[in-house]
Amino acid sequence: MIMNLTTPAICYGEILWDVLPDGPQPGGAPLNVAYHLNKMGVHTGIISRVGADDKGRQLEALLLSWGVGSCFLQKDTRYPTSEVIAKMNNGNEVSYDILAPVAWDFIGDAREIKNALTSDTYFVYGSLSARNEVTRTTLLGLLESDAIKVFDINLRPPFINREILAQLLEKANIVKFNQSELETAQIQFGGYYNSEASQVAFIREKFGIDEVIVTKGEFGASYYKGSEVYHAPGSEIKVKDTIGSGDAFLAAFIANHFRKEEPQNILKNAIAMGGFVATKKGGCPEYQLEEYLDFKTN
């Protein structure tokens, strides 16, 4: 499927296989976000790179079957398709061993890609994809576009660099943190505030960010927009695993933001999608949209 100037959202960065104890699952935050956006009726493309290998061909076939735009999916003959060793801790929490270098570390040639980004496009990117200079340089070029830039912070040690993080924050219109990432980010830039509101205010003022989301797992999330702040609680669910639940949250947030829903509804619907995906296995589980709608209303 070819992306064009009417593609509402484009996700940039890692595309990979999460290698779990019971088998591999497709993953990577950009892939997960694109998958769920498409499920919610917001056509989305992905900019990434896979190896010229069976694992890469399998991911490309999945994108085609899901209807996710893949015309900017690049092929690499030197580096392999990415794999991440995922380990389950405490029943359903996940830790990751992110192997490097891999194909998505070498995303290049931003000129044609940049033409697909308009002032109405949601351009979704994360901090992990900036770990390698090649992919980072391409990303920084794309961040000079007029797109609505959505920064999904994903601080994975040892891939945390203060200077790079500052560059990525400076270009963002919307930023999503979890509580730990917010705490880490403000300390990186000399903030030593204790409350969430003051930490958010510090980051927003320092980098000129319009909107900030803070996710809190089972305790819900908060959304800071202009002079207003919105809070919504989580709900008690039976967790299957937490892989991709934050990505599903962001996808629902973007879908509702794109449709210009009220801020409180944007937040509540995003929390519901994150919880819904946590009841299923993997970051891209098979489901019908009606299942999510039923989950949200019950």
Q: Residue 115's pLDDT is what?
A: 85
Kindly calculate the radius of gyration of the chain based on its CA atoms and give it in whole angstroms.
18
pLDDT of residue 2: 42
Residue spans of the chain under pLDDT 50: 1-5
Task: Give the Cα-Cα-Cα angle 21, 19, 158 (nearest 5 degrees).
Answer: 115
Q: Residues 207-233: pLDDT tens digits?
A: 999 999 999 988 999 999 999 999 999
Q: What pLDDT does 198 receive?
A: 98
CB 206 within 8 A of CB 189: yes
pLDDT at 121: 96
Euclidean distance between CA atoms 76 and 49, whole angstroms: 7
Q: Report the alpha-carbon distance of residue 265 to residue 80 in Å, rounded.
A: 41
Which residue has tokens 């629902």? 252
* Cα distances (Å, whole numbers) of residue 266 to 175, 208, 287, 290: 15, 22, 21, 18
Q: pTM here? A: 0.94
DSSP-derived secondary structure for 222-270: EEEETTEEEEE-------S--TTHHHHHHHHHHHHHHTT--HHHHHHHH
Q: What is the pLDDT of residue 74?
A: 96
Q: Could you tell me the residue ranges of all domains in the chain?
A: 9-291
pLDDT in tens, 35-55: 999 999 999 999 999 999 999
Residue type for position 220: G
Task: Tell me the fold of 9-291.
Answer: UDP-N-acetylmuramoyl-L-alanine:D-glutamate ligase (3.40.1190)
Q: Which residues contact 253 (CB under 8 A, 6 or more apart)?
A: 176, 213, 266, 267, 269, 270
The contacts of residue 283 (CB under 8 Å, 6+ apart) are 18, 25, 26, 27, 31, 32, 35, 243, 244, 247, 248, 277
Task: Reduce the DSSP state of residue 154 to 3 states and report it.
Answer: coil
